[in-house]
Amino acid sequence: MVQSLDYLKESPSQTAGPYVHIGLTPNFADIQGVYPSDLGTAMVNDRTRGERITITGRVIDGSGTPLRDALIEIWQADCDGLYNSPSETRGSADPNFTCWGRCPCDLSTGEYRFDTVKPGRVPFRDGRLMAPHISFFVVARGINLGLNTRLYFPDEEAANAEDPILSRIEHRVRVPTLIARKDGATYHFDIHLQGDKETVFFDI
């Protein structure tokens, strides 16, 4: 016998269910008066630095049907590539930018939308720069453990070409599933849960 390692096990995940809005966006669920506003609805204010962009899209199931009960959270760097987090040791992120947002998909169309800024580049573990990206966390009824993916930008071709994460994707035909479509200041990013167009999901 040897000594016990004594690690604990992570609490197992369960689905967020169809009524996730009650807890995470109660004002959206018409539960008024408990919180002044829903957390994560405003990422920017008048003084936020950087290029204003909108991210929008839908989450689509294996039959091609948009989910109308999904909830999405995003986490991204500020315009200088700094995170607003205690674990960010390279400097202080823009105090007028949350880096984090939360949005329930529309109950009829399934669309989500974030008004944010385009993130700067962030170093990979070995110091190489990653391309600008936004991290996604997707939960819904039917999803047992939140799905992680990344949005990359179509107007960052050179950076995308040297991105250490995109370079790791063996099936090159799947790389475009992580790249948004640009339309003015709006980036469209649909997330396909299953099938031929299935988005690349990460074990982070």
- 37 vs 183, beta carbon nearer other proteins: 37
Residue 161 in tokens: 């070409």
β 111-117/100-104 pair status: unpaired
Smallest separation, CB 65 to other proteins (Å): 8
- 75 vs 188, beta carbon nearer other proteins: 75
Token look-up 């996730």 returns: 20
Query: Which residues 80-99 are close enough to bind other proteins by CB under 8 A?
Result: 83-89, 98-99
Smallest separation, CB 152 to other proteins (Å): 12
| Spatial CB neighbours of 86, under 8 Å, sequence gap ≥ 6 | none
Query: Which residues 110-129 are close enough to bind other proteins by CB under 8 A?
Result: 122-128
Smallest separation, CB 162 to other proteins (Å): 15
Choices 46-54, 109-117, 152-160, 162-170 (CB under 8 A): range interacting with other proteins: 162-170
141: contact with other proteins by CB under 8 A: yes
Provide the CB-side half-sphere exposure for 136 (13 A, CA): 31
Query: Which residues 24-83 are close enough to bind other proteins by CB under 8 A?
Result: 24, 26, 29-31, 33-36, 39, 61-63, 65, 67, 69, 73, 75, 77, 83
84, 97 Cβ separation under 8 angstroms: yes
Smallest separation, CB 119 to other proteins (Å): 9
The residue count for binding other proteins (CB under 8 A) is 83
Q: The dihedral of CA 62, 65, 71, 75: what is its sign? A: positive
Residue type at position 139: V
- 53 vs 151, beta carbon nearer other proteins: 151
Of the candidates 156, 167, 148, the residue with the CA atom closest to the CA atom of residue 131: 156
76, 150 Cβ separation under 8 angstroms: no
